């Protein structure tokens, strides 16, 4: 059975050329200039954001600094500054939070708003959002621009905000849906890439409108479930709701640390990694989640540090590796064991300047245990009881720490790492962005 066509009022707000605009806001001498924000200032450093002026000259995200210099010799480059962007995001989002109680912080520069119930129709919602945009320019910074889309679903709201950039404002409703879709390229919507496009074109589908009008049964024969969802999305049927921070489980939880040289000298690299793993593990247990994957990043001294937004990941300069756990886990023993195994594979005693551990594929606990097929039932039961024991020890340790502080009880492997890797707020794409003026 088909889901009903949505009659909700959803908005998508997407800040334009965000990091570059924030830099131009903060530094008036950069305004109106082609500007590239780089992961780090070096000819091999990648541009992670280009200003509107730079985009016009052909600078693209992902180019190296040397490549973009060739295309626009007048370009200015700055190194990215995540705390600055997070501070501006929190001020922008706090304005959006005044429109509705349901705001999803989708990324550092994008938010979905469920305005259903708060505004009578798209026109009233559009008026409120125009005012919010005016407030962003007046109260946060005149150089900050955003594209806004209003539609009955998340998918169409995102399509609407992508329709015009920068500073666009597009409303999609059932009346103009077909007209908008007829102007869009197949690859303009999220999820259609060159491969799917070729298959669609082979059946004679060239525009999104033709795709919408194609019989759903035929699409399902071509693409299975994906064809069904795509068809429903184009018809304005809703599958994904706007999810506020409380409803949205984090995608990953981790902890990183710029390691001072003394740690390697004193032979405490493993101890510091154990501490990082314990800290991140504890946060994950507090949220009642289990990790399916553990990854570790090691940066070596004498290399450049690539600071991407929010989380320092020296991908090209350090080494990173991950491990899928045979079963999702949250206890210290499994997590520390996995992280230390990964480190031992990657590190042979070099001087370390950066360590990070991340848990991902996070899931809430299920009551079912997967029984390994190769083991007899009795051995599987023994294994489960060992897992159960480790889980209860971890939980008991957390309880002691809740009561007597983080240093009250330590794993033996953490000895010597006292004082290293202090706690701090963890963040997902936008976690750690505090919303001002709320409550």
- β 110-114/10-15 pair status: antiparallel
Helix (H) or strand (E) holding 358: strand 352-360
The residue whose two tokens read 């009881």 is 385
Question: At a CB cut-off of 8 Å and minimum separation 6, what does 39 contact?
Answer: 45, 46, 48, 79, 80, 306, 307, 308
Tell me which stretch binds Mg ion (CB under 5 A): 12-20, 117-125, 135-143, 342-350: 12-20
Residue of 50, 79, 81 whose CA lies nearest to 63: 50
What is the nearest approach in angstroms of Mg ion to the Cβ of residue 17? 7
Residue of 153, 168, 164, 26 whose CA lies nearest to 91: 26
DSSP structural state of residue 412: G
- Judged by CB under 5 A, the residue of 14, 53, 162, 317 near Mg ion is 14
Tell me which stretch binds Mg ion (CB under 5 A): 11-19, 245-253, 299-307, 386-394: 11-19
Q: Which is nearer to Mg ion, 54 or 413 (CB)?
A: 54
Q: Which is nearer to Mg ion, 168 or 292 (CB)?
A: 168
- Judged by CB under 5 A, the residue of 109, 278, 317, 331 near Mg ion is 109
Site size with Mg ion, rule: CB under 5 A: 2
Cβ–Cβ under 8 Å, residues 371 and 380:
yes
Q: Which is nearer to Mg ion, 48 or 65 (CB)?
A: 48
What is the nearest approach in angstroms of Mg ion to the Cβ of residue 110? 6
Q: Which is nearer to Mg ion, 92 or 335 (CB)?
A: 92
Tell me which stretch binds Mg ion (CB under 5 A): 109-117, 219-227, 362-370, 412-420: 109-117
Q: What angle do CA 168, 247, 13 make, to 5 degrees?
A: 5
What is the nearest approach in angstroms of Mg ion to the Cβ of residue 38? 17
What is the nearest approach in angstroms of Mg ion to the Cβ of residue 165? 8
What is the nearest approach in angstroms of Mg ion to the Cβ of residue 18? 5
Question: At a CB cut-off of 8 Å and minimum separation 6, what does 47 contact?
Answer: 36, 37, 38, 59, 60, 61, 62, 63, 64, 65, 68, 77
142 is catalytic: no
What is the nearest approach in angstroms of Mg ion to the Cβ of residue 359? 28
DSSP structural state of residue 257: E
What is the nearest approach in angstroms of Mg ion to the Cβ of residue 327? 38
Residue numbers 350-389 binding Mg ion by CB under 5 A: none
Tell me which stretch binds Mg ion (CB under 5 A): 14-22, 66-74, 124-132, 385-393: 14-22
Q: Which is nearer to Mg ion, 49 or 211 (CB)?
A: 49
Cβ–Cβ under 8 Å, residues 6 and 241:
no
- β 146-151/110-114 pair status: unpaired
Instruction: Rule CB under 5 A: say whether 278 interacts with Mg ion.
Output: no
Q: Which is nearer to Mg ion, 146 or 362 (CB)?
A: 146
Please, which residues bridge with residue 5 across strands?
Answer: 237
Tell me which stretch binds Mg ion (CB under 5 A): 108-116, 305-313, 333-341, 352-360: 108-116
Buried b (16+ CB within 10 A) or exposed e, 287-304: eebbbbbbbbbbbbeeeb
Helix (H) or strand (E) holding 179: helix 177-183
Q: Which is nearer to Mg ion, 14 or 23 (CB)?
A: 14
DSSP structural state of residue 135: H
Question: Looking at 110, 238, 278, 420, which residue is catalytic?
Answer: 110
Q: Which two tokens stand for residue 285?
A: 């247990």
Q: Which residues are catalytic?
A: 110
Q: For binding to Mg ion (CB under 5 A), which residues are involved? A: 14, 109
């Amino acid at each position: 059975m088909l889901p009903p066509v949505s009659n909700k009022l959803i908005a998508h707000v997407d800040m334009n050329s965000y990091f570059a605009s924030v830099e131009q806001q903060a530094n008036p001498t950069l305004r109106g200039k082609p500007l590239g924000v780089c992961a780090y200032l070096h000819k091999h450093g990648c541009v992670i954001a280009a200003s509107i002026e730079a985009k016009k000259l052909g600078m693209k995200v992902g180019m190296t600094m040397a490549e973009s210099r060739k295309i626009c010799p007048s370009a200015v480059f700055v190194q990215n500054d995540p705390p600055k962007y997070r501070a501006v995001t929190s001020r922008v989002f706090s304005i959006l939070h005044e429109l509705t109680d349901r705001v999803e912080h989708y990324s550092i520069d994008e938010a979905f708003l469920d305005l259903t119930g708060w505004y009578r129709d798209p026109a009233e919602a559009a008026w409120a959002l125009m005012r919010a945009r005016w407030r962003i320019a007046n109260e946060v910074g005149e150089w900050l621009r955003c594209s806004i889309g209003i539609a009955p679903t998340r998918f169409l709201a995102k399509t609407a905000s992508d329709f015009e950039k920068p500073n666009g404002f597009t409303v999609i409703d059932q009346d103009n849906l077909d007209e908008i879709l007829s102007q869009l390229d197949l690859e303009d919507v999220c999820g259609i890439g060159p491969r799917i496009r070729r298959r669609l074109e082979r059946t004679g589908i060239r525009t999104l409108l033709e795709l919408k009008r194609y019989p759903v049964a035929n699409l399902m024969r071509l693409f299975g479930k994906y064809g069904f969802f795509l068809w429903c999305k184009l018809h304005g049927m809703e599958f994904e709701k706007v999810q506020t921070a409380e409803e949205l489980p984090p995608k990953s939880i981790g902890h990183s640390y710029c390691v001072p040289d003394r740690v390697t000298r004193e032979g405490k690299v493993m101890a510091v990694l154990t501490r990082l793993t314990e800290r991140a593990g504890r946060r994950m247990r507090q949220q009642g989640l289990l990790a399916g994957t553990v990854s570790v990043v090691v940066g070596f001294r004498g290399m450049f540090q690539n600071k991407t937004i929010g989380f320092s990941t020296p991908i090209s300069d350090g080494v990173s590796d991950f491990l899928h756990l045979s079963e999702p886990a949250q206890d210290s023993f499994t997590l520390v064991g996995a992280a230390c195994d990964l480190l031992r594979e990657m590190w042979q005693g070099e001087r370390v300047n950066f360590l990070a551990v991340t848990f991902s594929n996070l899931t809430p606990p299920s009551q079912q245990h997967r029984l390994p097929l190769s083991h007899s039932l009795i051995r599987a039961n023994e294994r489960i009881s060992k897992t159960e024991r480790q889980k209860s020890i971890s939980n008991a340790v957390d309880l002691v720490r809740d009561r007597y502080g983080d240093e009250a009880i330590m794993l033996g492997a953490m000895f010597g790492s006292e004082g290293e890797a202090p706690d701090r707020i963890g963040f997902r794409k936008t976690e750690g962005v505090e919303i001002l003026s709320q409550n």
